[in-house]
Amino acid sequence: MSILETLKKEWFILVILIVPFFVSAYFWDELPDEVPTHFNIRGEADDWGPKWMVAYLIPMIGLGTYLMILLVPAIDPKKKIESAQKPVAAIRMFTSVFMVGIYAFVMAASLGTTINFSNYIIIGVGMLILIVGNYMNSIKPNYFIGIRTPWTLENEEVWKRTHRLSSKIWIVGGLLLMLSPLVPEMIRLDYLIYIIVGILAGIPLVYSYVIYKKLESES
């Protein structure tokens, strides 16, 4: 599918990504000159910056991310990613909605709303990981998405086995992240999230190396 055909099919995503620019223009005079630009795990603002960063930079990042993912198949020199159109489309669309959600929460905080949205962000990240994990087992070797270690890129069988395992781990990890806001207060939520993310990144890395060495010794 060409880029133009994809844009026609996903026109509603473009609308969702463009709406924040008009919202920012409408509320521009109501925004304080300095707005929160970063929040800690508890949803507390811990860094501030000029209002254009929230009003326009975040929407630009969302739109730019969408276009970048859209262009990936066109710039793939060996067209390997064409076999992963469904996973790429799912990632592209959910990432767009996720970025608009972040914009909405940060804008609300900038306008004085006291809602703690950190849990919603964590749930959103968990959903994104779950969606990626759901499609990971069907992603063929490519240069852009997936577990791209030196060993998965070197050996197609290593890629296949690593993504088969990673699919299961990421689905479980995504669910755990979505449920993490429910943990008792005596448990450090930030530590729990770091552990989950570390497992999601670490196990596929180590596993791909182990499988590569095993296949290498067998051959």
3-state SS assignment for residue 140: coil
Note the pLDDT tens digit of each residue in 39-68.
Answer: 777 677 778 889 999 999 999 999 999 998
Structure tokens given for 179: 């449920």
pLDDT: which is higher, 197 or 81: 197
pLDDT at 81: 66
* Mean pLDDT, rounded, for 139-165: 90
| Alpha-carbon gap, residue 130 to 164, rounded angstroms | 14
**Average pLDDT estimate for 162-166:** 95
- How wide is the angle at C-alpha 128 spanned by C-alphas 98 and 174, nearest 5°? 140
Smallest CA-to-CA distance from 41 within 168, 137, 181, 196 is with 181
Quick one: pLDDT at residue 31? 92
Output the pLDDT for position 18: 95
Which tokens is 187 given?
A: 């448990």
Global confidence as pTM: 0.77
| HSE-CB of 30 using CA atoms within 13 angstroms | 12
H/E run at residue 218? helix 189-218
Task: Tell me the pLDDT band of 116, cut-offs 50, 70 and 90.
Answer: confident
Torsion of CA 206, 207, 208, 211, to 10 degrees: 130
Tell me the two tokens of residue 91: 């990632």
Strands (E) in 29-110, as ranges, are: 34-39, 45-50
Confidence band for 83, pLDDT divided at 50, 70 and 90: low
211 vs 216: CA distance, rounded Å:
8
